[in-house]
Each structure stands twice: as C-alpha cells, then as structure tokens.
Amino acid sequence: MSASVSSPDVHAEHEEYHDDIIYPDTIPFVLVHLACFAAIWTGVTWQAVAIGVSLYFLRMFGATAGYHRYFSHRSYKTSRFGQFLLAILAQSTAQRGVIWWAAKHRHHHRHSDTPLDVHSPRHRGFWYAHVGWIFSKREEETDYSTVQDLMKYPELVWLNDHPYFVPALLAVACFLVAGWPGLVVGFFWSTVVLYHGTFFINSLAHVHGKQRYLTGDDSRNNWWLAIITLGEGWHNNHHAYQSSTRQGFRWYEFDPTYYALKVLSWTRLIWDLRDPPKDVVKGERAPGRAVVEKVARQLAATFPVEKWSGQLQELCAQAPTLHELRERLRAAGGRAEAILAELQSHLPQLPPIPTVEEIRARALEMYEHSPSLDRVVERAREILLQKLVDRLMEQPMTQGA
C-alpha cells in the first residue's frame, strides 16, 4: 500500500456523480453467497451450526469493537499488541482492511447523508447504501490523510494490504475442524449473515427507527438492529456523540459490545473507555447552527410546499391586481411574515400555512423534545414561508394582470 495521500473529496463536490460498479470485484462477493447453497450437498451438522453461530458473534464483536469503536473512533485505548489482535479479529470478517474501513467510516461521519456521503440511502438509494457502494470505483481509493494515526503501524499496514489473509486461514481452520459442513455452514453462512448485519447499519439505520437527538442527518435508533449487531443499532445515539465507547446511552438500550469491553477494561487489556457526557445523554447540549439549519430544512421538507405553492400561484394568477400586489410585496423587503400577512389580506382563500404549534407537533413526532427544538421549529417556519414567497415572486406575469 502506498502511503501517499489520496483525497477523493477534493474535487468530488464539483464532479458529476457516477455510481459505476466494478463488476469483476463483485464476483468474489457473489461467490461467497453462492457457496452457502453448497450445504445442499455437504449437509448441515450441529457442529457446523455451532461454529457458525459462534463465529458470527465473535466476528461481529471484531467489527463493532475493532473496526468501528476502536479503529474508526478511538473510543478507548489498548496496547500495540492488543491493537494488532483487534485488527486480526476485525479482518476475519472479510470486510477489507482496518485502515480502509476506518477511512471510509470517518468520511461517512464528516459528510453524513450529504451528497458526499459514501453510503447514504437518501442520495443513492437503499441497495447502493447497503452494499453497492463497496464496489464503486471511487470507493476503492483510501484517503490516507484521515488515518495517519493508523498508518504509523507497519503491522496494520501489512494487514490492510492483505485483507483476506486472515479470513482465508479461518476458512481452512473451519474445514479442518468440521469438514465440508464446517467450511460451508460454519464459515460461509456466518460470513454472509455477518456481511448483511453490518451493512444494515449503513442502510436500515438511516431509514427506520427513532431520532432522539438532533444530528442533522438521517441516523436512527433501531432496537432490533442493536440486537443483531451487538449494540450498533443505537445509531442516532452514536451520531450524537461519536467518541463514546458506549452506544446504548440509556440503561435499557442493549449494547453487548460495550458490556464486553467494560469487562475487558477490568483486566487492564483495554482502558480509558469514554462515556457520553450527561448533558448529551439528556439532550440538553445545544447543537451547532449548521445542525439546526439542516434539521429545520428536513422538518420543513415534510410539509407539502410544492402543493401549496401551486395553489398559491393559481390564486395569484386570478387576482386582478397582481401587479400592484407584487409591488407591495417587494416593498415588504422580502420579509416572509410581512409578505404572508399582505397575501392573506388580499387573498382570503389562501390555503392555511402551518402555525408554529403545528410545526412543533410534527417535530415532536420526529424527535424527542430538546431545548433546541424551538429554534428548529422557528427556522423551519421561516424556510416554509420563504419558499412560498419565492415561488410567488417567480410566477410569470399574466396578460390580464
């Protein structure tokens, strides 16, 4: 692996997006899935099933505690040897190298659910976010500038350069222990289920679930994803405070990865586990202005602005004094509230615009109450009104006006 810095994002924002899939690279991935059907001929033994179940949970821990909470977020500390063991366990999942994985995940958090996100259901669709992005030519590259803390360890670089060495050894071990059923059921079945359990965090955890915290993205908490991914399903929690080792912020939020790491910390194999601050957990920490703006725009987008704009245009087109009305609107200086009052005085049949209370009720359906919610609601109403006004001012003048 070359240590030179490659930054795919430098010009990406100004380039036309192409979701080209590298089809030759998908062949091994497809073959791993097809290999599962070999159980028709090898049979399924209890020994092979036990190996498969054990490997699923052990390697899921490698993905969650290794790839994610350690290498991507450095949410706890360990020795260099412990770090190497974590990397081996993580790469036994056959999800590429730890350096590539960490770089892509850090990129995801910097651009979460924006057009630059490597896997966003909002912009690329569910299946691309779930698995297609892995085989995109653009995602083959690694931005090494974001993972310099990992690049200084030659053993990690070597493992990253040989991402399938460890899973190949594991596959051989499964065969030697339990024969063909051990390979097919123990290794391939658990690998495929592990793939999709992990990938669900990229796809489903940004589509289905509850948003407790205002994060400005689509991350959601999903309890059943937390079960199958050993705690990763508390994804909105994670996006609210990324450096926390614990992702189940409340006592009832099942987070086995954290429990295991806590036990390991008692042995001093790992240390300095990070917990989220109390004001974050309680939702009392005010988000930044950029987050408030993003959440307000998301909230405003849940209202049928285009429908109202169409009705508004039709009404204004029928107004005999549209030209005079527009002049008075311009005199209002572009202030949305003043313009709305002017419109309602001339067009009593104007469709009702949602009140602050109605917008707040919608917000509470989407998010838990927080001190910043009023700021979001006020900004969302401003955005709604401004969109209506902009559409009106763009309305072509009719001959009758």
Kindly state whether residues 338 and 272 are assigned to the same domain.
Answer: no
Residues 157 and 85: beta-carbon distance below 8 Å:
no
Kindly state whether residues 232 and 294 are assigned to the same domain.
Answer: no
Tens-place pLDDT, residues 126-161 = 998 999 888 888 888 888 999 999 999 999 999 999
100 Cβ partners below 8 Å, 6+ apart? 142, 160, 163
Kindly state whether residues 259 and 309 are assigned to the same domain.
Answer: no
Question: Has residue 250 been placed in a domain?
Answer: yes
Give burial (CB, 10 Å; 0-12/13-18/19+) of 297. middle
Kindly state whether residues 331 and 193 are assigned to the same domain.
Answer: no
Residue 178: phi, psi to the nearest 5? -130, 20
Residue 105: phi, psi to the nearest 5? -70, -40
Residues 74 and 201: beta-carbon distance below 8 Å:
no
- How far apart are the C-alpha atoms of 178 and 184, rounded to whole Å? 10
**Per the structure, how many domains does the chain have?**
2
Kindly state whether residues 154 and 52 are assigned to the same domain.
Answer: yes
Question: Has residue 8 been placed in a domain?
Answer: no
Tens-place pLDDT, residues 218-251 = 999 999 999 999 999 999 999 999 999 999 999 9
Kindly state whether residues 160 and 209 are assigned to the same domain.
Answer: yes
- How far apart are the C-alpha atoms of 229 and 226, rounded to whole Å? 5
**169 has a pLDDT exceeding 70:** yes
Kindly state whether residues 263 and 301 are assigned to the same domain.
Answer: no
Question: Has residue 1 been placed in a domain?
Answer: no
Question: Has residue 12 been placed in a domain?
Answer: no
- How far apart are the C-alpha atoms of 246 and 379, rounded to whole Å? 32
Tens-place pLDDT, residues 115-128 = 888 888 988 899 98
Q: With pLDDT > 70 as the criterion, what percentage of the chain qualifies?
A: 79
Kindly state whether residues 330 and 295 are assigned to the same domain.
Answer: yes
**Secondary structure in 3-state letters for the chain:** CCCCCCCCCCCHHHCCCCCCECHHHHHHHHHHHHHHHHHHHHCCCHHHHHHHHHHHHHHHHHHHHHHHHHHHCCCCEECHHHHHHHHHHHHCCCCCCHHHHHHHHHHHHHCCCCCCCCCCHHHHCHHHHHCHHHHECHHHCCCHHHCHHHHCCHHHHHHHHCCCHHHHHHHHHHHHHHHHHHHHHHHHHHHHHHHHHHHHHHCHHHCCCEECCCCCCCCCECHHHHHHCCCCCEHHHHHHCCCCCCCCCCCCCCCHHHHHHHHHHHCCCEECCCCCCHHHHCCCCCCCHHHHHHHHHHHHCCCCHHHHHHHHHHHHHHCCCHHHHHHHHHHCCCCHHHHHHHHHHHCCCCCCCCCHHHHHHHHHHHECCCCCHHHHHHHHHHHHHHHHHHHHHHCCCCCCC
Question: Has residue 68 been placed in a domain?
Answer: yes
CA atoms within 13 A on the CB side of 222: 21
| CA 347 to each of CA 333, 351, 374, 392, 396: distance values in angstroms, whole numbers, following the listed order | 20, 9, 29, 13, 18
Tens-place pLDDT, residues 337-394 = 666 666 666 655 566 677 788 888 888 887 777 777 888 888 888 888 777 767 666 6
Kindly state whether residues 247 and 348 are assigned to the same domain.
Answer: no
CA atoms within 13 A on the CB side of 143: 19
pLDDT the model gives residue 307 = 67
Kindly state whether residues 69 and 198 are assigned to the same domain.
Answer: yes
153 Cβ partners below 8 Å, 6+ apart? 80, 83, 84
Last residue of a domain, one of 235, 250, 281: 281
pLDDT the model gives residue 370 = 75
Confidence class of residue 207 from pLDDT cuts 50, 70 and 90? very high
Confidence class of residue 5 from pLDDT cuts 50, 70 and 90? very low
Mean pLDDT calculated for residue range 172-187:
97
Q: What is the mean pLDDT of the chain?
A: 84
Question: Has residue 135 been placed in a domain?
Answer: yes
Confidence class of residue 313 from pLDDT cuts 50, 70 and 90? low
Question: Has residue 11 been placed in a domain?
Answer: no
Last residue of a domain, one of 258, 281, 304: 281
Kindly state whether residues 275 and 305 are assigned to the same domain.
Answer: no
Question: Has residue 198 been placed in a domain?
Answer: yes
Last residue of a domain, one of 245, 264, 281: 281
Please give the residue range of the domain that contains residue 21: 17-281
Kindly state whether residues 175 and 298 are assigned to the same domain.
Answer: no
